[in-house]
């Protein structure tokens, strides 16, 4: 949409002299006499905080949401498909006062000026639409606005923010005299589409109390009790010119000092002007559990900040590890929901990796009300697709990063497919169908001998990721070429076949049946190539039956009668995962699907270096990037949590009937019941909440199942099928 439809006659304005590091405060005046209602549309690029008469109308937010803001810094030799900016809108009526009113926009930093991909220079725009007794009036940003300096002195979005209050007066209030400030200058207008979205943005979720641990290396150490995202609120003492620094970390040493290796360079610094004041970071968040305060300041509490995506599920059973996996996944996922995209970690990179995001999408939509969040991110994926080749980026919005063509690029198919399966609207499949076809074309052009063997020149071409280094365990696994043994062409071609199978379903749903024979033909060719290249006819295994290789094959119907039993035997003997992020998900699902749920539960719950219980026993409150916590860079990565979907699909047994969507037709068929005495859980659907509870009494089982309105459902148990009705169903003594 053109600018005038969103901002009327407003102009983009900025400081007379700007750099990507510039932070500014833009002030404008307007009259509110006779106002019945006033609406504000406002942008400050990168992030902004807006004040009306000294009151911040968007505290603890990071707006606007991340997006492909505008052309100009697309990947080399690529043209991205779309560019848009999401425009927030606020009702500012409660903030108005008679007579003169002041709008102040504090802006800069954020994704827009991030050093890894600078879109442009900081700038701002606003339009106030006011309904009065005499009609509608507009107040807009223009050259009459005044612009002054910010107290943000030094800044890098992913690591630090420095606030310097020396010589700075609070310029947000109405009574501040801005006549000595320079006039704003007209700036370049972004070549973009302006949009609105219902995607939830970052906000204050809760406040955590602090435990004072004691003396650190330089200052005092505090612990908020969990790995989280946000920042502390500090009371700075009256000590002019003195510096207060907060050094964050995810881990404490046993002596009470913070682990600097897990600080990831995160620092918040304040230069005092001699006035006692409360301060907090304004234009970045931090990922941490503990921090050290150096200087004269007292932390009051920690603000937890992330996107307000509600939890829409419950799960509990008589196994502490599974309960921990469920709760910790939700918390880890929330820590990685910022600025409208699911990130890999909330500190080091913060990027919307398509591999991590597509992998956990099903689990998120099963446990959270994530529809609007993922619909927005799906548009980012499509906007980041190369017009020329169909290449899907490793991150969306795009920032040059590592990944692979299969497990990352397939997000353009997997995310809309999961949104359809959970919410039942085929329009989302129609909307992105052409993007899906272009992605398949890209995989075709990066194939040899029937296998996907490459990606864009000069970029990574991973298969799986973050698997334990089973061949050379003494080597550092942080180097991407030493992390997995599975051949990347096998994994990438697996994802191509899986995507083609998905496309067969999608084409049938949206009336593109004529495309199905070609999809099936291509899938069959690729399956033959995997079988020919990686199947060992001597023992029936793929790639030595390690790191889930046989699970990839079985999922595509490959191998022979020995392949699946070999896999089961191997993991029964091994007793723990030896898998990367994709194989962990696939292996767990395949075991449940083939009736070996007890083994799947063993892998999910056994203690050991490659397991969730190992993390739990060591006090983790979020999932880690690697199974080996000692070698792990980040201790806040959600990607191994994809298996949480199977707590609902297989342990609770809440599954959709084949060829249905939106949870309108259900089969309740819990598995691995011999391992539990009780289990309960619920999930939200379009028609309401479906819930399942069972407990064992002697040799029988009692079920309580709640079926939403307008939903068909059956219970399958012990070889029998029981019809369920809407509402509560009690089946006793089965």
Indicate the pLDDT class of residue 443, thresholds 50, 70 and 90.
Answer: very high
What does the pLDDT average to over 496-512? 98
CA distances 16 to 13, 179, 185, Å, are: 9, 16, 6
Q: Hey, what domains does the chain have and what are their CATH numbers?
A: 3-153+166-196 (2.60.120.260), 203-307 (2.60.120.260), 313-651 (1.50.10.10), 654-731 (2.60.420.10)
pLDDT of residue 240: 67
pLDDT of residue 447: 96
481: pLDDT strictly greater than 70: no
pLDDT tens digits, one per residue of 77-134: 899 999 999 999 999 999 999 889 999 999 999 999 998 899 999 999 999 999 988 8
pLDDT tens digits, one per residue of 573-588: 999 999 999 999 999 9
Q: Point out the least confidently predicted range of 138-147, 448-457, 468-477, 561-570.
A: 468-477
Tell me how far apart the alpha carbons of residues 553 and 564 are, in angstroms, rounded to a whole number: 9
Q: Point out the least confidently predicted range of 199-208, 464-473, 675-684.
A: 464-473
Please, what sign has the CA dihedral across residues 599, 604, 608, 611?
Answer: positive
pLDDT of residue 485: 72
Of 445, 199, 426, 460, give the one whose Cα is nearest residue 354.
460
pLDDT of residue 734: 86
Indicate the pLDDT class of residue 480, thresholds 50, 70 and 90.
Answer: very low
pLDDT of residue 517: 98
Structure tokens at 132: 């009065």
pLDDT of residue 470: 54
Q: Is 704 exposed, middle or buried (0-12, 13-18, 19+ CB in 10 A)?
A: middle
pLDDT tens digits, one per residue of 445-470: 999 999 999 999 888 899 999 988 65
Place of tokens 């050379």: 472
Indicate the pLDDT class of residue 631, thresholds 50, 70 and 90.
Answer: low
Of 209, 82, 116, 687, give the one whose Cα is nearest residue 401.
116
What does the pLDDT average to over 307-334? 98
Residues contacting residue 21 through CB under 8 Å, at least 6 positions apart: 108, 113, 155
pLDDT tens digits, one per residue of 230-252: 999 999 988 767 999 999 999 99
474: pLDDT strictly greater than 60: no
pLDDT of residue 468: 82
pLDDT of residue 484: 53
pLDDT of residue 479: 45
What is the pTM assigned to this prediction? Answer: 0.96
What does the pLDDT average to over 11-16? 96
As beta bridge partners, residue 301 has 233
pLDDT tens digits, one per residue of 522-565: 999 999 999 999 999 999 999 999 999 999 999 999 999 999 99
Query: Average pLDDT over the chain, rounded to whole?
Result: 94
229: pLDDT strictly greater than 90: yes
pLDDT tens digits, one per residue of 600-629: 999 999 998 889 999 999 999 999 999 987
pLDDT tens digits, one per residue of 158-179: 999 999 999 888 899 899 999 9
**Residues 518 and 504 sit within 8 Å (Cβ to Cβ):** no
Strands (E), 568-708: 654-656, 665-668, 678-685, 688-697, 700-707
473: pLDDT strictly greater than 50: no
């Amino acid at each position: 949409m053109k600018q005038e439809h969103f901002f009327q006659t407003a102009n983009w304005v900025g400081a007379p002299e700007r750099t990507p590091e510039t932070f500014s405060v833009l002030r404008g005046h307007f009259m509110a006499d006779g106002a019945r209602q006033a609406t504000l549309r406002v942008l400050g690029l990168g992030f902004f905080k807006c004040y009306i008469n000294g009151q911040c109308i968007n505290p603890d937010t990071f707006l606007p949401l991340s997006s492909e803001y505008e052309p100009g810094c697309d990947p080399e030799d690529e043209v991205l498909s779309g560019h848009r900016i999401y425009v927030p809108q606020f009702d500012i009526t409660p903030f108005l006062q008679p007579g003169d009113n002041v709008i102040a926009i504090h802006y800069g930093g954020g994704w827009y000026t991030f050093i890894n991909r600078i879109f442009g220079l900081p700038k701002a725009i606003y339009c106030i639409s006011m309904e009065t007794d005499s009609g509608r009036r507009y107040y807009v940003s223009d050259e009459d606005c005044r612009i002054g300096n910010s107290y943000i002195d030094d800044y890098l979005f992913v690591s630090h923010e420095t606030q310097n209050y020396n010589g700075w007066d609070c310029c947000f209030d109405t009574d501040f005299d801005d006549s000595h400030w320079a006039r704003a200058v007209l700036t370049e207008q972004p070549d973009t589409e302006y949009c609105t979205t219902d995607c939830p943005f970052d906000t204050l979720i809760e406040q955590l109390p602090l435990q004072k641990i004691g003396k650190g290396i330089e200052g005092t150490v505090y612990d908020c009790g969990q790995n989280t995202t946000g920042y502390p609120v500090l009371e700075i003492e009256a000590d002019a010119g003195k510096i207060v620094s907060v050094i964050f970390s995810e881990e404490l040493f046993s002596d009470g000092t913070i682990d600097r290796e897990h600080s990831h360079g995160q620092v918040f610094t304040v230069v005092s002007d001699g006035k006692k004041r409360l301060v907090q970071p304004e234009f970045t968040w931090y990922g941490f559990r503990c921090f050290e305060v150096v200087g004269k300041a007292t932390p009051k509490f920690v603000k937890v900040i992330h996107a307000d995506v509600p939890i829409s599920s419950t799960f509990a059973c008589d196994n502490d590890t599974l309960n921990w996996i469920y709760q910790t996944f939700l918390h880890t996922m929330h820590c990685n929901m910022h600025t409208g995209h699911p990130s890999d970690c909330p500190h080091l990179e913060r990027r919307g990796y398509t591999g991590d995001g597509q992998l956990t999408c099903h689990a998120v939509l099963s446990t959270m009300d994530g529809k609007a969040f993922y619909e927005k991110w799906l548009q980012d994926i499509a906007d980041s697709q190369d017009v020329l080749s169909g290449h899907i980026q490793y991150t969306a919005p795009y920032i040059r990063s590592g990944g692979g063509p299969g497990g990352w690029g397939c997000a353009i198919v997997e995310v809309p497919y999961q949104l359809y399966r959970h919410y039942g609207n085929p329009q989302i499949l129609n909307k992105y169908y052409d993007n899906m076809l272009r992605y398949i074309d890209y995989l075709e052009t990066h194939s040899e001998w029937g296998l996907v063997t490459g990606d864009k020149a000069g970029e990574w071409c991973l298969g799986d990721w973050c698997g334990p280094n089973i061949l050379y365990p003494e080597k550092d696994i942080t180097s991407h070429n030493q992390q997995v043994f599975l051949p990347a062409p096998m994994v990438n071609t697996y994802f191509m076949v899986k995507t083609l199978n998905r496309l067969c379903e999608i084409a049938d749903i949206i009336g593109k049946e004529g495309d199905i024979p070609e999809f099936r033909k291509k899938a069959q060719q690729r399956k033959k190539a995997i079988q020919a290249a990686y199947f060992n006819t001597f023992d029936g295994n793929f790639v030595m039956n390690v790191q889930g290789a046989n699970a990839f094959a079985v999922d595509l119907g490959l191998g022979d009668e020995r392949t699946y039993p070999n896999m089961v035997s191997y993991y029964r003997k091994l007793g723990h995962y030896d898998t990367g992020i994709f194989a962990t998900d696939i292996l767990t699902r395949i075991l449940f699907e083939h009736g070996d749920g007890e083994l799947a539960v063993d892998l999910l719950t056994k203690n050991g270096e490659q397991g969730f219980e190992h993390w739990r026993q060591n006090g983790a409150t979020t999932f880690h990037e690697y199974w080996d916590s000692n070698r792990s860079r980040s201790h806040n990565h959600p990607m191994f949590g994809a298996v949480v979907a199977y707590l609902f699909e297989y342990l609770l047994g809440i599954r959709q009937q084949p060829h249905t969507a939106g949870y309108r037709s259900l089969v309740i068929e819990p598995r691995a019941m011999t391992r539990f005495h009780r289990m309960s859980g619920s999930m939200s659907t379009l028609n309401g909440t479906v819930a399942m509870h069972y407990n064992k009494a002697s040799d029988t089982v009692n079920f309580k199942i709640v079926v939403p309105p307008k939903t068909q459902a059956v219970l399958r148990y012990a070889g029998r099928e029981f019809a369920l009705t809407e509402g509560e169903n009690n089946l006793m003594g089965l």
